[in-house]
A and B are shown apart, each in its own frame.
Chain A
Amino acid sequence: MRFFDRWFQDKTRSLARHTSRRSFLKKAGTVLVGAGAIPLLPVAKANTAPDDGSISGPEGDPGKCEYWRNCGMDGFLCTCCGGSHTSCPPGTEMAPMTWVGTCNNPADGRDYIIAYNDCCGKSTCNRCMCNRNEGDLPNYFPSKSNDINWCMGASNNVYHCTTTILLGLAVK
């Protein structure tokens, strides 16, 4: 199957689950972050990471587009590319800047801030394409656009795949 077939399938599935604009405005405030900007986010420290193992089905599987942290994802899942959902594949570099989403963890019902840091420096991974437009805005709003290649912040802007870094609890 061509990857963009999967891309649109994933979009459609996502939209079937998530259709409320109002809920976006309430929950999915997304902001541009660099390492230095993280303290400005509405984030509180979580004592322990939520346990994905207790989540049944694809929402608990980092290799699936339906994985709960992927709510703002647009890219190839690094889990499928030799890395993991929190680490880049060998030989790539994690971009320090990205956009973030607020995703609800079905294990504990809490909202968490997730940063979608790209991994850069090798050609496109081209595996496990995942595009969920929850919270996405046009490119004149870069901090809320998932159509932008965030490898711009790395030493090399060649895009490879995307991670989902948990930054902390979202503060309401």
Chain B
Amino acid sequence: MYPMDKYSASWRKLWLYGLFLLILAGCDAQQPADEPASSATAADAGDAYVDVSKAPLSNDIFGKVTALPETPHPHWVWIYDMAASSMPDGRAYLYDGDTGRMMGLLSTGYSFNALNIPGHYREVYSAETYYSRHTRGARTDVVSIYDPFKLTPVAEIEIPAKRVSTLPRLADSALTDDDRFMAVFNLTPAASLSIVDVEHRRFAGEVITPGCAMAYAAGDRRFFALCSDGALLLIHLTDEGTQASVQRSEPFFNALEDPILETGVRHGDTWYFMSVLGEVHPVEISADGPVFADTWSYLDEQDKAENWRIGGMQPVTLHSARQRLYMVMHQGDFFTYELPGTEIWVYDLETRARVEKITTRQPSLSIAVSQDDNPLLYAITEDLSALDIYDAGSGEHLRSIGELGVTPFLVQPLPLL
């Protein structure tokens, strides 16, 4: 009894339903033409009021997609979100720091870390991991290349499926100064860097970095990594992106007694790393290799007595032209160096003097400063719900952006173009 009768009944119902929809659509299509005639008496008849003196709205065009203006501004800012509550769903949000408006988003796969932004900004790069069945199946790691105005992928380069998965760090990948090669940190737990030629869209090779981690830019054909014994590993590349040579320095910090934080800032050829106990380690990557200048303390005796300490996920940033160094500070003990801070201390990099203390609107976890002449200081709040935006000169709070993301840990303004 079942098959044919039920089948026919279903089709009858579908046909009637389709007819009903067509009638509805017909009524709807006629409505604009009918409105002027009927509306003259609409109010009298007790129907909704229609202003016949105004022309009806024109129909929207279906299918439009916004493209960003190809006039990037230094107050555009990327927010990197690993979506820790659902890690296969990483994303990068783009906001306008002047208006607080969200401009768009990139979907960036499992255990997303951060974008790498070249100086030309014609494209942006993202080291990503995907599984063929969302959380299972074959793993594929790639460097995705995105159009930063359409926010669409334009190319991808497959890399060895072993990029590191961590709570996000800007230094998990880096670009050479000429923006041609990208290094992606691998940990299996054997440490290495995948080198990608983003200009020619190819994987160039792998450099083994035993005992050393992450990647920091150090010229057109150089990266360096930080090592667990306190040394620095400088990697020289050939023009093909393969390993030319490596230089391992003597230890310049003590990882057990006074570790430096992974978030370094760069001014010219010199990187600055902050230690937990209050030392600034300047590291110049000269033509001959790393040069370690004398350290200096960013804490005075009173600061130390009061247990002031740097802390956060991205707790330091530098305005390069003004040579202003910003650090998120809180009061706590040795192992609090990932905690957010209630103040941002500002230093003159040249004189090493502290020039200002900014009391933050809310405790801050990650900070970054735009590099223009009217710089904005961005601070992700401790509950990861908002981006507080300050005038980087006066410290005045200007605005906040709420509903920032899922778990947005890192912030990166556009470079000066």
Residues of A within 8 A of B (CB): 2-5, 8, 11-12, 15, 18-21, 24-25, 32, 97, 121-124, 126, 133-143, 145, 147-149, 151-153, 156-159
A5 neighbours in B (Cβ, 8 Å): 383
- Report yes or no: A15 in contact with B166, Cβ–Cβ below 8 A: no
The tally of residues in B whose CB lies under 8 Å from a CB in A reads 49
Residues of chain B in range 25-80 having any CB-CB distance to chain A below 8 Å: none
Contact of A12 among B111, B134, B213, B339 (CB under 8 A): B339
Bound together, the chains give a CA A135 to CA B165 distance in angstroms of 20
- Report yes or no: B165 in contact with A4, Cβ–Cβ below 8 A: no
Contact of B136 among A21, A121, A141 (CB under 8 A): A121
- Report yes or no: A126 in contact with B166, Cβ–Cβ below 8 A: no
**Smallest beta-carbon distance A142→chain B, Å:** 6
Residue B139 lies at the interface, judged by CB distance under 8 Å to chain A: yes
30 A-B pairs whose Cβ atoms sit less than 8 Å apart in the complex: A4-B84, A4-B407, A11-B338, A15-B332, A15-B333, A15-B339, A19-B332, A19-B333, A21-B333, A121-B135, A122-B135, A123-B86, A123-B87, A123-B134, A124-B85, A124-B86, A126-B85, A126-B86, A138-B262, A139-B164, A140-B227, A140-B228, A142-B189, A142-B213, A148-B165, A148-B187, A151-B165, A156-B135, A156-B136, A159-B165
Known contacts A141-B259, A156-B131; A123/B88 CB under 8 A: yes
- Report yes or no: A140 in contact with B214, Cβ–Cβ below 8 A: yes
A24 neighbours in B (Cβ, 8 Å): 334-335
- Report yes or no: A21 in contact with B382, Cβ–Cβ below 8 A: no
Bound together, the chains give a CA A2 to CA B381 distance in angstroms of 13
> Chain B at the A interface: mostly helix, strand, loop or mixed?
loop
A156 neighbours in B (Cβ, 8 Å): 131, 135-136, 139
Bound together, the chains give a CA A124 to CA B382 distance in angstroms of 21
Bound together, the chains give a CA A136 to CA B313 distance in angstroms of 14
A157 neighbours in B (Cβ, 8 Å): 111, 129, 139, 165
B136 neighbours in A (Cβ, 8 Å): 121, 156, 158
Contact of A8 among B164, B227, B334, B382 (CB under 8 A): B382
Residue B167 lies at the interface, judged by CB distance under 8 Å to chain A: yes
> Chain A at the B interface: mostly helix, strand, loop or mixed?
loop
**Smallest beta-carbon distance A53→chain B, Å:** 30
Write the B108-148 contact mask toward A (1 if CB under 8 angstroms, else 0).
Answer: 00110000000000000000010100111001000000000
- Report yes or no: B164 in contact with A148, Cβ–Cβ below 8 A: yes
Residue B351 lies at the interface, judged by CB distance under 8 Å to chain A: no
> In chain B, what residue has the closest Cβ to A3?
B85
Bound together, the chains give a CA A102 to CA B49 distance in angstroms of 76
B255 neighbours in A (Cβ, 8 Å): 137-138, 140-141
Residues of chain B in range 247-281 having any CB-CB distance to chain A below 8 Å: 255-256, 259-262
- Report yes or no: A21 in contact with B86, Cβ–Cβ below 8 A: no
- Report yes or no: B228 in contact with A136, Cβ–Cβ below 8 A: no
> In chain A, what residue has the closest Cβ to B335?
A133
Bound together, the chains give a CA A11 to CA B335 distance in angstroms of 10
Bound together, the chains give a CA A4 to CA B339 distance in angstroms of 12
B88 neighbours in A (Cβ, 8 Å): 123, 158
- Report yes or no: B165 in contact with A147, Cβ–Cβ below 8 A: no
Bound together, the chains give a CA A157 to CA B187 distance in angstroms of 12
Residue B336 lies at the interface, judged by CB distance under 8 Å to chain A: yes
> In chain A, what residue has the closest Cβ to B129?
A157
- Report yes or no: A124 in contact with B338, Cβ–Cβ below 8 A: no
- Report yes or no: A152 in contact with B189, Cβ–Cβ below 8 A: yes
